Amino acid sequence: MSTSSSQRSANLVEHIAPSSIDGRNGHPAAPPAPARVPAFELLESKLCPPQLRGGAVSRGALIGLVEERSASMPIIFLTAGPGWGKTTLLGQWASCSRRPFAWVSVDENDNDPIVLLTYIAVALDRVSPLDAGVFDALASPGVSVEGTVVPRLGAALATSEQAVVLVLDDLHMLDNLQGLDAINALSRHAPPGSQLVLSGRSEPALPQAALQADGLALQIGPDDLRMGAGEAHQLLSAAGVDLEGGEVAELVEHTEGWCAGLYLAALSIRARGTRAKDAATFSGSDRLVADYLRSELLAHLSADEIRFLTRTSVLERLSAPLCDAVLEWDGSAAILESLEPSNLFLVPLDQHRQWYRYHHLFQELLRAQLEEAEPDLVPQLLGRAADWCVANGQMETAIGYAEEADDVDQVAWLLERCIQPAHQSGRVATVERWLGWFEQRAALEQYPAVAVLGALIAAIRGRPGESGRWAEAAERGSYQGTLADGSESIESWLALLRALHCRRGVARMHADAQLAVQTLARGSQFRPTALTLLGLSQWLISEVDQADDLFAEAAQEGLELGAHEPAWAALGQRVAIAIEREAWLEAEAFSDDAVVLVRRSRMEAYPVSTLVYALAARVALHREDTPSAHEFLARAQRLRPRLTYAIPHLAVQTRLELSRAYLALADAAGAWTMLREIDPLLRRHHDLGRLTADVEEVRLSLKTMRSDAPGTSTLTTAELRLLPRLATHLTFREIGDRLYLSRHTVKSHAMAIYRKLNVTSRNDAVERARGLGLL
């Protein structure tokens, strides 16, 4: 090792932490206590039941019914169209129940399973503290929802000593299959006395009929929510309308007991001074409701009030400053204050009355009015909302408004700044939704910076075709101005991406990595990665000393910038070099530091960390610490399927190190499995420098060994990809639908898993896999 490299090593170990490794005895160091803090900012109003207003109609009979059934029916399906009073019913129940409520108002952003499950975990944690490991898993990029997050959250729910009612309101907003699968799994973990309430406009894609047939679910629908004459009289009185009994009955008949219809009619009667017989006849599904709103309600408001209501209907949440910005005036606070007491369709979201939302039905009707009367104004209003959100640090909210306005320029600018933080927080589905919207506009070539980010993420997630498509689009584009990381040219990012893909051989990889290092801004989060790739290109041509110096520099710079991933990736490469030099003490020190960094950054489930675990296993085996080696190998097994030819050098190098570890364990079958996975990678990318010769060296060593019986080390990437799904409630056919495989293929893979785990059933396979650390 050179002098500069040794000095950097000493500085790095000191920088990480004094004695952060458990006596360097080879056992994985205990991670710091995970913070019970989500990896992204939560919207507090989503976690609170609605604010109850004075004079609201009591639904005591329904509340009594669900309380009575709490012991025998752990699941409640509350399904009805807009305006039937679902949320009001649940809010009243929460206010009077002896059991605590955990509340989540579902919106379209919850179609990311990590987002949805984070909100659920926080809601439950506020009732009874959950195990911190739940939040640790939720904050780990790349974590398996089925294999890790749901089992931990389900176990925490099942072992809760306090009965709780978990409400998921507006569940019709959820269409992500992975999220629905998670809810289905959690419904099976409700402890005695607890209930899961699923409320929405339509029946969720859950086995509702089977649960009802088993007596485990209670269905509440429009017939149950219909208001009778007594309840209608309360509602009308609260709205300032006094009718006689016969008139109330007539109005109930006209509106079919629809709560929103009764309230709309009451407002009309109060405004016009008409009687019940003159009120419009409609139901919750009647298309005439919009016409009714326009002719009977908006006609009696002032011009300012109408303008305020219709133009702010583009907003999901309202505050006086946001409304002022969207409307370009300064009278919003006064109008909100005047509307809130007299209009039940304006819902306060906090106790301070700073944030509101419209009742969903009312918002839909107002938005229809706006688009009919002022369609050209809608994009401008949305654009102003996005600008206000950017100015107030609500960048991700701004993306939603900019997308709705179809402002591709602004969406691109926002994605450059939001994609990486969102991905690092584990919200893969959110990032995919953003990128999917962008790709649908055929805008990749016009915005190459976004295309580069999409290609990088696809590569890390093991999607070579997608990564290549985005990379090709980026190469065809042009970019003017300074990039989000401060770099002056898009060529810096393109060079980094080309070096990562290594599609044209090691020499071109070296040139691209060198260009990226030279041109990326000094403070760029990408620069440590570029240094690591430059070092790797040197190592691949056997320039080991130069490579080690670059890896040391990359690790140091990564720590200084807070870019932990390239820091521990570079440390992993230093482990490989130290092992090659037979400098085992240095290898042990680098390996322990890398493992600690992976844990501190909560990136145990990140595919790139697979190499760190493979090398840590080799270090543990040299130390004759076989239990630790098996633990590290199990971690590598879980992550290996996502290492594809999208990053060929990493995919081959990792499997090569795993084969050497299995060779040290005299596990010939495991080593041969790794080599069989390497062969197609090398055929596709034949110019990977020394890796080809290193693979042949291992192959020669294996030819003299007797092949043993297939075991866990011989699980293929396809089998490892299936394994977490076996731990779910999904049938083989349903698993196949999610993995785009036939039921026969899923069954064949499952049988192979049973054979290699030496079990005969699905349940036994799951238990065995958990015991081995594969789940």
Same domain, 283 and 238: yes
**What does the pLDDT average to over 718-738?**
90
Residue 269 and residue 256: Cα distance in Å, rounded?
Answer: 17
Task: Pull the structure tokens for residue 192.
Answer: 């005695």
Whether residues 10 and 71 fall in one domain: no
pLDDT exceeds 70 at position 746: yes
262 and 150 both lie in a single domain: no
Q: What is the pLDDT at residue 8?
A: 45
| In-domain check, residue 343 | no
Verify that 101 and 144 share a domain, yes or no: yes
Q: Which of 87, 82, 78, 79 is nearest to 286 (CA)?
A: 82
Whether 138 and 152 share a structural domain = yes
- Per-residue pLDDT band for 244 (boundaries 50, 70, 90) equals confident
Instruction: Indicate the pLDDT class of residue 28, thresholds 50, 70 and 90.
Output: very low
**247 and 101 within one domain:** no
- Comparing 37 with 530, the larger pLDDT belongs to 530
Are 615 and 763 in a shared domain?
no
For residue 362, tell me if it sits in a domain: no
Instruction: Quote the pLDDT of residue 25.
Output: 39
CA angle 34–37–43, rounded 5-degree value = 165
In this predicted model, what pLDDT tens digit does every residue of 259-306 receive, in sequence order? 877 877 777 777 665 555 555 454 444 455 666 666 556 666 778 888
Residue 721 lies in a domain: yes
Containing structural domain, residue 179: 44-225
Q: What is the pLDDT of residues 151-164, one digit of tens each?
A: 999 998 888 888 89
Identify the pLDDT of residue 626.
95
pLDDT in tens, 64-93: 887 887 667 788 899 988 888 888 889 999
| Residue 347 pLDDT exceeds 90 | no
CA of residue 403 relative to chain centroid, distance = 19
pLDDT band at 456 (very low <50, low <70, confident <90, very high): very high
State how far the alpha carbon of 199 is from the alpha carbons of 84, 91, 101, 169, 319, in Å.
Answer: 11, 12, 14, 5, 26
Q: What is the pTM of this model?
A: 0.86
- pLDDT at site 706: 72
Q: Residue 728: which region, alpha, beta or left (left: phi > 0; alpha: psi -120 to 50)? A: beta
Residue finishing a domain among 225, 259, 275: 225
Is 314 domain-assigned? no
340 lies in some domain: no
Q: Is 70 exceeded by the pLDDT of residue 209?
A: no
pLDDT at 273: 59
Residue 222 reports pLDDT greater than 50:
yes
pLDDT in tens, 107-141: 999 999 999 999 999 999 999 999 888 998 998 88
Quick check: is 559 in a domain? Answer: yes
**Helix, strand, or coil here: 25?**
coil
From 225, 260, 291, the end of a domain falls on 225
Q: Which residue has the higher pLDDT, 360 or 290?
A: 360
The string of pLDDT tens digits covering residues 508-564 is 999 999 999 999 999 999 999 999 999 999 999 999 999 999 999 999 999 999 988
Q: Is residue 187 part of a domain?
A: yes
Q: Residue 729's domain is classified under what CATH number?
A: 1.10.10.10
pLDDT range class, residue 27, cuts 50, 70, 90: very low
Q: Rounded to an integer, what distance in angstroms lies between the CA atom of residue 563 and that of residue 691?
A: 27
Q: Is 105 in the same domain as 10?
A: no
Instruction: Give pLDDT, residue 358.
Output: 86
Residue % of the chain over a pLDDT of 70: 89
Q: Provide the pLDDT confidence category of residue 241 given band limits of 50, 70 and 90.
A: confident
Q: How far apart are CA 682 and CA 675, in angstroms?
A: 10
Same domain, yes or no: 261 and 237: yes
The answer, yes or no, to whether residue 207 has pLDDT greater than 80, is: no
Looking at the fold, whether 177 and 287 belong to one and the same domain comes out as no
What confidence tens digit (pLDDT) does each residue in 274-285 have?
555 555 454 444
Q: Which of 223-232, 363-372, 397-406 has the highest mean pLDDT?
A: 397-406
* pLDDT value of position 65: 80
Same-domain check for residues 221 and 235: no
* 237 band by pLDDT with thresholds 50, 70 and 90: confident
Lowest mean pLDDT among 352-361, 434-443, 452-461: 352-361
Of 267, 300, 333, which residue sits at a domain end? 300
Domain at 147, CATH number: 3.40.50.300
Instruction: Tell me the per-residue pLDDT of 576-615, one tens digit each, with 9 for 90 and over.
Output: 999 999 999 999 999 999 999 999 888 998 899 999 999 9
Residue 288: Cβ within 10 Å count:
12
Q: With bands split at pLDDT 50, 70 and 90, how would you rate the model's confidence at 703?
A: confident
Q: Can you give the CATH number for the domain in which 595 is found?
A: 1.25.40.10
Number of domains in the chain: 4
Cβ–Cβ under 8 Å, residues 633 and 645: no
Do 8 and 48 belong together in one domain? no
For residues 297 and 261, is the Cβ–Cβ distance under 8 A? Answer: no
**In terms of DSSP H, where are the helices of 239-373?**
245-255, 259-272, 288-292, 303-311, 320-327, 332-342, 360-373
Q: Inform me whether the pLDDT recorded for 26 exceeds 70.
A: no
So what's the pLDDT on residue 113? 94
| Overall size of the chain counted in residues | 775
Of 221-235, 408-422, 533-547, the least confident: 221-235
Residue range 565-572: average pLDDT?
95
Note whether residue 247 is domain-resident.
yes
- What is the per-residue pLDDT for 354? 86
Read off the pLDDT band of 204 (50, 70, 90).
confident
- Mean pLDDT score across all residues of the chain: 87
